[in-house]
Amino acid sequence: MSDIERHAIAVLVDNEPGVLARVIGLFAGRGYNIESLTVAEVDRANNLSRINVVTSGTPMIIEQIKAQLSRLVPIRVVKDLTQEGACVERELALLKMAGIGEKRIESLRLADIFRARVVDSTIETFVFEVTGSTEKLDAFINLMQPLGLVEVSRTGVVAISRGAANF
């Protein structure tokens, strides 16, 4: 269908056992997409965690996803960052590269353009750390593929609204 939209949704939850399973179970059980999902505690004093989920669907489905999320008892706030206007989305990736010689030099040269940093290095391997939008990371990973990329680890998207608005 043509009216499929991609939305970044931020969910503030009481940090209690099973809450992530509830969210994931909801998406799986109702057949919603998860393109990316991250979770971490963001406010220890108030025992709050934040789940960032990137999903896609028709406007009616996106609305359902938000309503269904809001129904879960431990969920405090559901915010559709995409709908509320501009938001900053970032992802971090670690790339393990293997190889010596020309390829190694070329990959380090390209890394510079993407502001990727080397965070570990041996004679034959090294690890890049790169942050940015999902598209930027995809582009970087594609470039590294022929240059000795052996392993990728990505965080998934974290997002936050621009401007003064907050939870």
- Which of 1, 2, 3, 17 forms a contact with other proteins (CB under 8 A)? 17
- Site size toward other proteins (CB under 8 A) is 20
Question: Shortest distance, CB of residue 135 to other proteins, whole angstroms?
Answer: 31
The CB-of-120 to other proteins minimum distance in angstroms stands at 35
Q: Tell me how far apart the alpha carbons of residues 39 and 158 are, in angstroms, rounded to a whole number.
A: 9
* Angstrom distance (rounded) from CA 132 to CA 72: 31
Interaction of residue 22 with other proteins, rule CB under 8 A: yes
b/e per residue 98-116 (b: at least 16 CB within 10 A): ebeeeebebbeeebeebeb
Q: Which two tokens stand for residue 89?
A: 């989305």
Of residues 56-75, which lie at the interface with other proteins (CB under 8 A)? 60, 63-64, 67-68, 70-75
**Which of 21, 45, 123, 164 is close enough to bind other proteins by CB under 8 A?**
21
76 contributes a contact to other proteins by CB under 8 A: yes
Q: Which helix (H) or strand (E) holds 29?
A: helix 19-29
Among 6, 25, 112, 165, binds other proteins (CB under 8 A): 25
C-alpha–C-alpha distance, residues 104 and 96, integer Å: 12
Rg of the chain over Cα atoms, rounded to whole angstroms, equals 19
Binding site for other proteins (CB under 8 A): 13-14, 17-18, 21-22, 25, 29, 60, 63-64, 67-68, 70-76
